[in-house]
Chains A and B, each alone.
Chain A
Amino acid sequence: MKKLRNQIFIIAAIVLTFVIFDLGIYNVFTKRCINDYSESLQAKSVELDEYLPFDENSKIVKLDSEFKLMENLPVIDGAAALYPVFSAFVNSVYPENSCSFDGKNFTPESALQYTNTRGAYKSVVDGTADIVLCASPSEEQLAYAKEKGVDLEFVPIGCEAFVFIVNKENPVDNLTAEQVRGIYSGKYKNWSEIGGENTPIAALQRNEGSGSQTAMLSFMNGEKIKVKNTVFGKAIGFSFRYYVEGIVEDGNIKMLSLNGVYPNAENIRNKTYPIVGEIYAVYRKDNSNANVPLLIDWMLSEEGQQIVEKSGYIGIK
């Protein structure tokens, strides 16, 4: 009897050990990695159906323009963070039957497409999109254009701040540019080295070729990024201001000041925020669609710039 009791105790102890250990792993590591954003936001980085053109419930800026295109419509594509802008452009200028959305994606015949930065740069080079709205291209994207013998034209149509983000409960509110580069080059590994708590820094990156990853590489100014994905520590990441504030709108995230300057609209406009980049309308120089330059001129007009500003960006002028 005593022996049986001991055996049962040992079995129970082993089971309990595994249960407690696995629950610990789940609560400390796994739960953090679970993405509870919507399926669309996870798959596309933006809720496509919330910013559709010609939809009365759409969140896009609606502006009734006298400038209209009825045929030979340039196909427009672009980055996630800029989708509300180019959807608003289409809404103002194109006829209503020019776009079709099947609930998840734009159909192949739609004049409005969405493939995000990497897809958009490939599309404009391959000729499946006429104009794409994106941040600066990566080296690989430029190399792809060169390999295909394509010359691209980059027309700045607005400005945006490149921002660094942490969880709202991180006590750090400001970093210098040197500190951020130090984090991503591996020089600083603990938040306590840069005014925070004694906990490791988990420096997060995006995929190569994404607009924000390209911007980050440019910010690093030749210094190599030497961080690896980790589940330990408190995280820091990067993105574009409007994507964080306007599209994701997650109250658990805060943007950091950089060199003491917060990335609000005023500081972006007067360029006191240190990392302000341009957003571009990109097209092939050999594109023969006469409506391409007309549409881009309109994007730079007062009406087009109104859409850019009211969508949350800073106009180019």
Chain B
Amino acid sequence: MSDKLFNKIVAVILIIGIVSTVALAGYTVHLRKNASITAYISSESK
């Protein structure tokens, strides 16, 4: 493929990848804030 197309594809993948990673991190922080003590401790061995 042309370099231009290749760069576009890589850019799109990078954007999607970064957005999904940030979203997952944010979701994890949200879950953590709302986690009950007992459920959180219990999940250590799940």
Chain A residues lying within 8 Å of B16, measured Cβ to Cβ, are 18
Chain A: CB-nearest residue to B37 = A237
Contact A237/B41 with A14-B17, A33-B32, A252-B46 known, Cβ cut-off 8 Å: yes
Chain A residues lying within 8 Å of B32, measured Cβ to Cβ, are 33, 229, 231
Chain A residues lying within 8 Å of B46, measured Cβ to Cβ, are 31, 36, 252
Q: CB distance B20 to A250 under 8 Å? A: no
Chain B residues lying within 8 Å of A42, measured Cβ to Cβ, are 36, 39
Q: CB distance B42 to A253 under 8 Å? A: yes
Chain B: CB-nearest residue to A237 = B37
Q: CB distance B24 to A169 under 8 Å? A: no
Q: How many residues of B contact A (CB 8 A)?
A: 30
Q: CB distance B17 to A31 under 8 Å? A: no
Contact A252/B45 with A45-B36, A165-B38 known, Cβ cut-off 8 Å: yes
Binding site for B on A (CB under 8 A): 4, 7, 10-11, 14-15, 17-18, 21-22, 25-26, 29-37, 42, 45, 165-170, 204-206, 229, 231, 234-239, 244, 248, 250, 252-253
Q: CB distance A36 to B28 under 8 Å? A: no
Chain B residues lying within 8 Å of A239, measured Cβ to Cβ, are 37-38
Q: How far is the CB of B31 from chain A (nearest CB, A)?
A: 4
- Kindly list the 5 A-B residue pairs having the minimum CB-CB distance in the complex, ordered from nearest: A237-B37, A18-B17, A33-B31, A167-B44, A252-B42
Q: How far is the CB of B39 from chain A (nearest CB, A)?
A: 4
Contact A169/B45 with A22-B21, A253-B38 known, Cβ cut-off 8 Å: yes
